C-alpha cells in the first residue's frame, strides 16, 4: 500500500476508519526525513492492513502542533483511535519492523482501561 498524505481535512476520517495508523511527521528540508522515507515506503508495501500516513509539518502546522512535534522525523502509532507511540528519530528498517510488531501486540483493552482510570483519577483531583 502506498502512503497517504494526512491533512487536517482528512485526519479524523483516516483515524476513525482505520484500526492501525502509522504517521511519519516530516519536512522536505529535513535530511533524516528524506533518508527515512524509502524505509517507511518499503515497510508500507509489507503491511497492507496498516495505513501508512505522512504529515508534512510545514504544510500541516496545526496537525504538527496537535501532536506537539518538536523534532522530525517523528513517528506516531495510533491504534483504535488511541495514540500508543510517538518518538522522534529516523528508524532503520529492522527497528521499524520491530516497532510495528510490538504495536500489533499491544492489548488495546488494557490501554483503554488504564486511560479511563487515569482520567477518573484526574477528575477527582
Set of cell numbers at residue 62: 496545526
- Please confirm, yes or no, whether 26 is among the known catalytic residues: no
Identified catalytic residue from 30, 55, 75, 100: 30
Name residue, grid cell 512535534: 69
Identified catalytic residue from 6, 15, 23, 33: 33
- Please confirm, yes or no, whether 33 is among the known catalytic residues: yes
Cβ count near 10 (within 10 Å): 13
Q: How far apart are CA 48 and CA 41, in angstroms?
A: 12
Considering its fold, how many domains does the chain have in total? 1
Choose among 16, 103, 3, 93: nearest CA to 56.
3
Diameter over CA atoms, the chain: 47
69: CATH: 3.40.30.10
Choose among 39, 65, 51: nearest CA to 10.
51
Can you tell me the mean pLDDT for 77-88?
Answer: 94
Q: How far apart are CA 11 and CA 64, in angstroms?
A: 12
Distance of CA 29 to the CA centre of its chain: 20
Q: Which domain holds residue 72?
A: 4-124
- pLDDT tens-digit profile of 25-78? 999 999 999 999 999 999 999 999 999 999 999 999 999 999 999 999 999 999
Choose among 93, 115, 81: nearest CA to 41.
93
Residue 58: strand, helix, or coil: coil
Cβ atoms of residues 35 and 84 within 8 Å: no
From 12-21, 60-69, 107-116, the region with the lowest mean pLDDT: 107-116
pLDDT grade, residue 124 (50/70/90)? Answer: confident
Amino acid at each position: 500500500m502506498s502512503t497517504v498524505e494526512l491533512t487536517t481535512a482528512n485526519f479524523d476520517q483516516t483515524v476513525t476508519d482505520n484500526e492501525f495508523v502509522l504517521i511519519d511527521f516530516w519536512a522536505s528540508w529535513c535530511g533524516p526525513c528524506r533518508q527515512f522515507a524509502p524505509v517507511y515506503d518499503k515497510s508500507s508495501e509489507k503491511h497492507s492492513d496498516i495505513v501508512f500516513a505522512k504529515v508534512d509539518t510545514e504544510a500541516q502546522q496545526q496537525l504538527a502542533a496537535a501532536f506537539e512535534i518538536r523534532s522530525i522525523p517523528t513517528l506516531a502509532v495510533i491504534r483504535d483511535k488511541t495514540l500508543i507511540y510517538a518518538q522522534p528519530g529516523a528508524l532503520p528498517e529492522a527497528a521499524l519492523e520491530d516497532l510495528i510488531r510490538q504495536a500489533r501486540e499491544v492489548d488495546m483493552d488494557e490501554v483503554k482501561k488504564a486511560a479511563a482510570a487515569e482520567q477518573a483519577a484526574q477528575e477527582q483531583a
